[in-house]
């Protein structure tokens, strides 16, 4: 939600609240009173109502809004939300009552409690002020909850749009004619040498196409499926070179039932293959997926010969789109470090709570 709309919501709420105070002030001004000066009487009532109703409500509203909702209620800590909500309301009421007594003692306000019942009146006043503060706090939770709900809907729409862009970019990148023709030609050449192995590679190509077209639609998939796709992709890339040590792929840790956004790692791996210009290097591409209890890490490095000047492929997924998708899917829950020198390009991506 736009900041201007949020500001208008707050202004609207407090405008209505002040209007209510003015209405109460008008009712009070028409009621009987011993004060001889009507102006002093109304002024005294206004300041009393301000300290009694507005000031404690202001404190409670923004403590509920900025502290209670994000830190407790949004984290499903209902019992703590109730306890801290009561404490905030009571604290705001006490502050308001202390200010009222201070202004009365200093002579700036007329003591409305002419009966002078003392402690019992103080307790009753604080209880009423606590109730008023609680109502304002609840309204703060409603407004904050509405804004959060609206923002989540907009985020989901934006994420859906970016995922669609991602799917289209991946399909164009991964299944471009160059890759398909090279892979099919390699499989075709392999048929004469080893028909069984050629059939195996053809099945992997079919699985990759099926995965990209049908299994990338959910927001998250099992990490095991993502790794299975990566393994098949690497296998198809390896048949394009006679160097058996061209790629080093390893997995550290237990995959288990961890989930991750589909095709989150493959753009970095794809770029590594595209930008490695010398397939004679041993371990020209090193890919390592490290799985820990609280995070999943991808380390992808590719070597290249700076002496060889080759035209970079215009295909592939742009870094900007990759970063946007990461920010949407894992906002505040990922770190991405990219490093490049004359011989090595490395990517270090960590997803927390993967």
Q: Are residues 210 and 317 in the same domain?
A: yes
Residues of the domain holding 40: 3-154
The structure's pTM equals: 0.52
Q: How confident is the model at residue 259 (pLDDT cuts 50, 70, 90)?
A: very high
pLDDT score for 217:
74
Cβ atoms of residues 187 and 198 within 8 Å = yes
Same domain membership, residue 193 and residue 315: yes
**DSSP single-letter state for residue 65:** I
pLDDT for position 178: 55
Question: Domain check: are 39 and 149 in the same one?
Answer: yes
Decide if 293 is inside a domain: yes
Mean pLDDT, rounded, for 296-314: 72
18 and 112 fall within a common domain? yes
18 occurs within a structural domain? yes
The pLDDT value given to residue 100: 85
Give the tens place of pLDDT for each residue, 104-116. 777 766 665 555 4
Our count of domains for the chain comes to 2
In-domain check, residue 124: yes
Same domain, 194 and 272: yes
Least confident of 53-57, 80-84, 242-246, 278-282: 278-282
Whose tokens are 């707050």? That residue is 10
Cβ-based neighbours of 73, under 8 Å, separated by 6 or more = 81, 141
* 162 located within any domain: no
167 found inside a domain: no
Q: Which residues, in sequence order, are CB contacts of 59 under 8 Å at separation 6+?
A: 88, 91, 92, 95, 96, 133
- Are 329 and 190 members of one domain? yes
* Cα of 91 vs its chain's centroid, Å: 32
- What pLDDT is stored for residue 177 in this prediction? 56
Do 196 and 336 fall into the same domain? yes
CATH for 305 = 3.30.565.10
């Amino acid at each position: 939600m736009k900041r201007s709309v949020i500001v208008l919501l707050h202004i609207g709420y407090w405008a209505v609240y002040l209007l209510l105070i003015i209405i109460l002030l008008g009712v009070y001004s028409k009621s009987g009173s011993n004060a001889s000066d009507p102006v002093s009487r109304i002024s005294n009532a206004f300041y009393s109502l301000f300290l009694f109703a507005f000031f404690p409500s202001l404190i409670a509203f923004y403590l509920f809004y900025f502290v209670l909702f994000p830190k407790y209620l949004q984290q499903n800590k209902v019992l703590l939300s109730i306890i801290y909500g009561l404490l905030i309301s009571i604290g705001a009421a006490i502050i308001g009552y202390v200010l009222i007594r201070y202004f009365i003692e200093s002579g700036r306000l007329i003591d409305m409690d002419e009966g002078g019942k003392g402690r019992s009146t103080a307790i009753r006043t604080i209880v009423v002020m606590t109730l008023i503060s609680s109502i304002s706090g609840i309204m703060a939770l409603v407004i904050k909850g509405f804004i959060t709900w609206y923002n989540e809907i907009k985020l989901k729409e934006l994420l859906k749009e970016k995922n669609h862009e991602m799917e289209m970019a991946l399909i164009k990148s991964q299944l471009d004619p160059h890759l398909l023709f090279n892979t099919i030609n390699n499989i075709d050449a392999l048929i004469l040498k080893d028909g069984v192995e050629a059939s195996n590679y053809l099945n992997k190509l079919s699985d990759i196409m099926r995965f990209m077209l049908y299994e990338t639609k959910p927001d998250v998939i099992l990490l095991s499926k993502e790794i299975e796709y990566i393994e098949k992709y690497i296998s198809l890339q390896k048949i394009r070179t006679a160097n058996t040590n061209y790629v080093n792929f390893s997995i550290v840790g237990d995959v288990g039932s961890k989930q991750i956004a589909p095709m989150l790692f493959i753009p970095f791996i794809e770029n590594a293959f595209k930008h490695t210009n010398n397939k004679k290097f041993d371990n020209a591409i090193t890919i390592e997926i490290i799985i820990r209890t609280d995070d999943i890490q991808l380390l992808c490095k590719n070597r290249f010969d700076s002496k060889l000047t080759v035209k970079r492929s215009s295909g592939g997924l742009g870094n900007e789109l990759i970063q946007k998708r990461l920010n949407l899917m894992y906002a505040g829950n990922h770190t991405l470090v990219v490093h490049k020198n004359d011989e090595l390009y490395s990517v270090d991506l960590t997803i927390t709570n993967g």
